[in-house]
A and B are shown apart, each in its own frame.
Chain A
Amino acid sequence: MNKPLITIEKLGIHYPLGQSLFGKPPVLKAVDDVSLKIEKGSFFGLVGESGSGKTTLGRATLRAAPITSGTVIYDDGEVVYDVGSIGKAQLKDYRTRAQLIFQDPYAALSPRMTVRDIIAEPLEVMKLTKNREETDARVREIAAKCRLNLEHLRRFPHAFSGGQRQRISIARALVCGPKFVVADEAVAALDVSIQADILNLLKSLQRDLDLTILFISHDLSVVAHVCDHVAVMYHGNIMEQAPTRQLFANPTHEYTQSLLSAIPSLDPDEPLRAKVYRPEEAR
């Protein structure tokens, strides 16, 4: 077994719901007592329906969501960070090692910057390059890896379709050479014919750049195709986690079974027989 890159232990993320004058305000437990190990070099799938806390969990690993309890440890062999209590200088370094790919390729790109400026921004902000030539070289290199045309770099985002924008978004996340990438519903907003292209791109980038990807999605069939390890989340808890093949061949948790049974089959003669998961009965 590989060494884990990300180790999540008993992670809790609670948001206060409103304020109350007396006693404790009620809290929303977005993530509740979650433990996970993401191996180095793995394509780790995190599946859940809306409100399951999968996005919050993903953001917590990047320190973009407040951690209430528990720990997130990042260990890539060079450095070890406790993400929850990371210092300012270390956080700067961590940002170069862990990045995020967004869901909506339209909202994630500033409409007022050229593609070159968008991709170069992380390098400039983190001061990773010495001069403009070096920045441009890095931008061109990553753009080519993400199959972006070099002449596209002077264009503005409005010139691009959803799939191309998502490639720009991926290039921006990868330009600083991160080792860990969180892809939050990275293909959910794309059309089927484009989605496969982006999935294949992510897969090949993961291999070439030796990335560890936390792939967050609501779509089980997508996860089944790209991930090697899957965790299923429901109401802030991990229901089941296993290697992909094992999980899909033999789902042990009732919730996973109900999720799998709810996917409409392409075969009209294989009617939908969705199992309903009722946690109160299961307990």
Chain B
Amino acid sequence: MTDTTPETAPESAEDRARKEAYFTASQSQLIWARFKKNRSAMAGAIVLAILIFMGLFAPFLSPYNPTIAGADKDYRNGAPQIPMFCDDNGCSWTPFLHGVKMELDMATLRRNPVIDPDVRRYVTLLPQGWEYRVAKFDIGIVSFNGFAMTTHLFGVEEGGIHIFGTDGTGKDVFSRTLHAIWTSLAVGTIGVVIAFVLALVIGGVAGYFGGWIDGVLQMITDAVRTVPAIPLFMALAAFAPPDWSSETRFFFISCILGLIGWPTLARRVRTHLLTERTQEYVLAAQLCGASSGHVIRRHLLPSFTSYIIVDLVISFPYMVLSETALSFIGLGLKEPVNSLGVLLQNVSKSDVLLNFQWEFIPVIFFVALVLAFVFVGDGLRDAADPYSSAKK
């Protein structure tokens, strides 16, 4: 009872309804109710939802093609442009940018963009721009080319708008970041799915049957765990033919991540099954003559789903991190593919560090993405553990 409610208050109908709702709430409803109370997890979930949304609608949200085709030759290594309403020549209702042109800096002998404050370029909403395809997918034999679209959220009437600036070749950092989020999420998803299918099968078989099967599978799992990741990646990178398309390379990397990532998950699945299998309610079902199928379907799997979701969410950032790490050391995805790792690799140059700090903006998104996953995962784990509140 909370301190604010007087202890003598008679039980109201509303109170009883609330209690009955608690009593008849299923496990998943309880988990959700607990999750909602966890503020950092909820914040993480909101950030995550926004990032996924941004990734999903990246082509629409980004004004320019993130590849070299969309590069702005007039604004290379350009600083972020913030749309404004007023300048020395007065104010306007529509936001605008000043014009830019490349000029040779005589001191450094470099061509740098210079702002021309007398030229105004007005921001426009929903302009027509580069062509992209909606609902396009390509999974091996099944492929669908999608619908072509050219409408974008915003643009500028003439020249370019680069709210996060541009890189050395004039590519829009904002557009690149959005696409990179999507690529990294996609690699992570494929990796996690592969790892998880393997983990469920191997860990599930080991945990449910136990005995020598468990012993053999554990040995295999341990063997895979001992394979050092970096040298393996280097070998695989050397094996991958350089003429592979960026899509093939992308899929290849995802598969490797999945094949490396399963042992930890398999171990968790197995441990969970082992503890759950010896629960008394499972014995009770067996004493009714329930078959293995019934026990797995009715008792083990439901007890599992919440943990599976938690495990999935928790292992996701590791996939994103691995992809980033691989791309960062130059073994994973490469330019011109946009992934967070590729963008991170770009900012490791000292020139960028000293002069073009805006290229760091993708790093912020990367950190936000990983943190959001970690917070949501932690929140889910706390909420899914029915004993976490009883222990207090």
| Binding partners A and B | yes
Using A91-B289, A125-B289, A176-B288 as known contacts, say yes or no to A64 and B294 having CB atoms under 8 A apart. Answer: no
Q: B386 near A100 (CB under 8 angstroms)?
A: no
Quote the shortest CB–CB distance from A107 to chain B (angstroms): 4
Instruction: Tell me, in angstroms, the Cα distance from A246 to B290 when the chains sit together.
Output: 42
Contacts of A112 in B (CB 8 A): 26-27, 302-303
| Residue tally, chain A, CB below 8 Å to B | 29
A104–B285 Cα distance when bound, in Å, is 15
Q: Which residue of B lies closest to A95 (CB)?
A: B289
One of B17-25, B39-47, B120-128 contacting the partner: B17-25
Assess whether B27 is in contact with A125, with CB atoms less than 8 Å apart: no
**When the two chains form their complex, are residues A126 and B303 in contact, meaning their CB atoms are under 8 A apart?**
no
Cβ-based interface call for B4 (8 A): no
Q: List B residues 259-280 near A (Cβ within 8 Å).
A: 279-280
Please tell me if the beta carbons of B386 and A108 are within 8 angstroms of each other in the complex.
no
Q: Does B186 contact A (CB under 8 A)?
A: no
Known: A95-B288, A100-B287, A121-B288. A159 touches B22 (CB 8 A): yes
Identify the closest chain A residue to B283 (Cβ): A64
B209 at the interface (CB under 8 A from A): no
Please, which residues of chain A bring their CB within 8 A of the CB of B280?
102, 104, 107-108
Task: Judge if A70 is at the interface, Cβ distance under 8 Å.
Answer: no
> How close is A149's CB to chain B, nearest CB, in angstroms?
11
B321 interface residue per 8 A CB criterion: no
A116 → B minimal CB distance (Å): 11
* Interface of A: prevailing SS: loop
Q: Looking at the complex, which one of A64, A99, A102, A111 makes contact with B27 (CB distance below 8 Å)?
A: A111
A197 CA / B104 CA spacing, docked (Å): 94
Task: Assess whether A156 is in contact with B26, with CB atoms less than 8 Å apart.
Answer: yes
Contact with B287, one of A95, A110, A111 (Cβ below 8 angstroms): A95
- The chain A residue with its CB closest to the CB of B302 is A112
B 290-317 to A, binary, CB cutoff 8 A, 1 in contact else 0: 1000100011001100000000000000
Find residues 150-203 in chain A having any chain B CB closer than 8 Å to their own CB: 154-156, 158-159, 172, 176
Given the known inter-chain contacts A108-B281, A112-B303, please indicate yes or no for A126 contacting B289, CB distance below 8 A. Answer: yes
Closest CB in chain A relative to B281 CB, distance in Å? 4
Chain A positions 90 through 113: 1 when the CB is less than 8 Å from some CB of chain B, otherwise 0: 011001000110101001111111
Determine whether B30 belongs to the interface, using a CB cutoff of 8 Å to chain A: yes
Contacts of A41 in B (CB 8 A): none
Is B284 part of the binding interface, using a Cβ–Cβ cutoff of 8 Å?
yes
Residue contact B27 to A156, C-beta cutoff 8 Å: yes
Cβ–Cβ contact A158 & B386, under 8 A: yes
Contact partners of A95 in chain B: CB under 8 A: 287-289
Chain A contacts of B298 at CB under 8 A? 113, 121
Contact B303 A110 (CB under 8 A): yes
With A91-B289, A125-B289, A126-B289 known as contacts, the answer to whether A100 contacts B284 (CB < 8 A) is: yes
| Cα A156 to Cα B284 with chains together (Å) | 17
Contacting B at CB under 8 A, from A56-95, are 62, 64, 91-92, 95
Question: How far, in Å, is A120 (CB) from chain B's closest CB?
Answer: 11
- B residues near A156, Cβ cutoff 8 Å: 23-27
Is the pair A155, B23 in contact by a Cβ cutoff of 8 Å?
yes
Contacts of A122 on B, CB cut-off 8 Å? 288
Which residues of chain A (104-146) have a CB below 8 Å from chain B? 104, 107-114, 118, 121-122, 125-126
Complex Cα distance, B24 from A126, in Å, reads: 27
CA distance A172 to B294 in the complex (A): 17
Give B111 Cβ to nearest chain A Cβ, in Å.
66
Question: How far apart are the CA atoms of A114 and B25 in the complex, in Å?
Answer: 9
In the complex, the answer to whether B284 meets A108 with C-beta atoms within 8 Å is yes
10 A-B pairs with least C-beta separation: A159-B23, A122-B288, A155-B23, A108-B280, A95-B289, A107-B280, A110-B281, A125-B290, A125-B288, A112-B302
Q: Which residues of A are interface residues toward B (Cβ below 8 A)?
A: 62, 64, 91-92, 95, 99-100, 102, 104, 107-114, 118, 121-122, 125-126, 154-156, 158-159, 172, 176
| Contacts A112-B26, A125-B285, A126-B289 known; 20 new A-B pairs at CB < 8 A | A62-B287, A64-B287, A95-B288, A95-B289, A100-B283, A100-B284, A104-B280, A108-B281, A108-B284, A110-B281, A110-B303, A113-B298, A118-B281, A121-B288, A126-B288, A155-B24, A156-B26, A158-B30, A159-B22, A159-B24
